[in-house]
Amino acid sequence: CVVIHDGETVFEYYDTGISPDLPHLLMSVSKSLTATLIGVLVEQGLVATDAHATSYIPSLIGTSWDGCTVQHLLDMRGGVAFTEHDMDDPESDGVLLEQVSGYTARTRSDLPANTYDWIRALPNQQPHGGPFVYRSILIDVLGWIAEEVTGERFADLFSRLVWGRIGPEHNADLIVDSAGFPVVEGGF
């Protein structure tokens, strides 16, 4: 934890095993960073929040993603079946997503080969635009949209439009799966 006031560090604390020079995983803070990039792309006119995800990712046409808008993704109101409320459950989609992305070792041989395949195969659980349900996979679709609309790898795009503009002291790292899919929901 670092507190900066008027450009000066006024408080700094590192828990056991963490030091100022040790990179650490931001986990779900990554979602906010991804949403920030989407906001830049909206401002640039490359993404419209009322557009369907399938208009940016044609390979999702005819899947559970039909009818899901960018705004649904941003608001976590996409209706796909993805459960992660119990990360202690080894069968939780959140735990399995960590395995598909390569963040943790696979415990099952029947998992999708990569995040692209998983996203394409997800069924619907409820209509898009329904109530908020925390589903990390929705943010990964936003990352995929960012790559599709710009033709750039997410890491390069994020570096150019967000990270490089805030004046960080260090480069950021981002987990990618075996197919190069950027794990933008928790991999910064």
Non-local CB neighbours of 71 within 8 Å, separated by 6+ positions: 49, 50, 77
Question: Among 179, 156, 160, 145, which residue's Cα sits nearest to residue 59?
Answer: 145
Q: Which one is catalytic: 28, 32, 59, 178?
A: 28
Residue that the structure tokens 């989609």 belong to: 93
CB-based contact 66:146 (threshold 8 Å): no
28 is catalytic: yes
DSSP assignment string, 51-74: SBHHHH-GGGTTSTTTT-BHHHHH
Non-local CB neighbours of 12 within 8 Å, separated by 6+ positions: 1, 2, 3, 20
- Which amino acids are annotated catalytic? 28
